[in-house]
Amino acid sequence: MNETEVIETARQALLITIQMGAPILLIGLLVGVSVALVQALTQIQEVTLVFVPKILAMLLALFFFLPSMMKTLVIFTQSLADKIIGLG
């Protein structure tokens, strides 16, 4: 395995990490901003009020996106194992 293949594999791993984390983080961001907006409009200044809806939304998103995330991760792992076997 030469330097180019190592860099390409690392690039793929980083892109897959972003693809797997982005939907859940974006949903958490949207819920957090919307709850903060409601807090600002109603002048409720409870700091911990944001956490419960955000955690619930992120868990629901994880439940929804987990099958596609696992499929992506399995495909990447299989291609990585094929590259390792090809070396030996």
Please report, for the chain, the start and end positions of each structural domain, with discontinuous segments joined by +. 3-82
d(CA 46, CA 40): 10
Q: State the SS3 of the chain.
A: CCHHHHHHHHHHHHHHHHHHHHHHHHHHHHHHHHHHHHHHHHCCCCHHHHHHHHHHHHHHHHHHHHHHHHHHHHHHHHHHHHHHHHHC
Lowest mean pLDDT among 16-20, 25-29, 47-51: 47-51
Cα–Cα separations (whole angstroms), residue 83 to 38, 71, 73: 51, 19, 15
Q: Per residue in 31-66, pLDDT tens?
A: 999 998 998 898 888 878 888 999 999 999 999 999
pLDDT band at 14 (very low <50, low <70, confident <90, very high): very high
Beta carbons of 27 and 1 less than 8 angstroms apart: no
Residue 88 has pLDDT above 60, yes or no: no
d(CA 85, CA 60): 38
